[in-house]
Amino acid sequence: MLSILTLAQTEPISATEPDGYVEYQDYGCQIYLSDGTQLEGENEHHPVATYFHHIVRAAKRQGRPLVVAPTMKERMEKVGFVDCEAQTAIWPIGPWAKDERLKELGKWGLLGACESLFPFGVHFLTKEGWSIDTVRELCDTTAKGFYQAHYYTYGYVSFFSKLNNMGC
């Protein structure tokens, strides 16, 4: 059986018209403080780090790695796409940035992050034996944690072209 990641790499090339392109957008599932410090592992001062520690590890054990965006360009080149480009940008989580555009992006980033905590938690952590109540507690603590510090992640946008002569 093919993994979802394998399908995400191979299906677009067979479904893309000659001279067409594919665009992927994702975030890296890695959390940073506004000073650039990457948070890893369980962290009593930053529940956001603890949440991502558990989610990323569970997803990887279940064959559904979440930290794939930074390597998507190389993955798509490997399956035959050309003119591959990748761009990264800071995605604030919360409206803390001074730049107005980043502040607006941060508002939406916070909404998206808070709304996705529980679905991701239930999906990955209950398969690891966590109870719904324990997942809910982790998610509630994490949501409150977003307001305790200035967090960001990196957003990745990648573009891939399919040449006219690629027979797929």
Instruction: Enumerate the domain spans of the chain.
Output: 23-160
User: Is residue 158 predicted with pLDDT exceeding 90?
Assistant: no
Q: What is the mean pLDDT of residues 64-86?
A: 87
pLDDT digits (tens, 9 = 90+) for 83-112: 889 999 999 999 999 999 999 999 999 999
Q: For 16-40, write each residue's pLDDT tens digit.
A: 777 777 888 888 789 999 999 999 9
Residue 62: the pLDDT is 96
Which sign does the torsion angle of CA 61, 41, 48, 94 carry? negative
Give the Cβ contact number of residue 168 at 10 Å.
12
Alpha carbon separation from 115 to 22, 112, 142 (Å, rounded): 27, 5, 11
Q: What is the pTM of this model?
A: 0.82
Using pLDDT thresholds of 50, 70 and 90, give the confidence band for residue 4: very low
Strands 82-93 and 151-161: antiparallel
- Per-residue confidence (pLDDT) for residue 45, from 0 to 100: 95
pLDDT at 10: 62
Q: 1 pLDDT band (50/70/90 cuts)?
A: very low
Mean pLDDT for 63-76 is: 88
Lowest pLDDT segment from 54-68, 74-88, 97-111, 134-148: 74-88
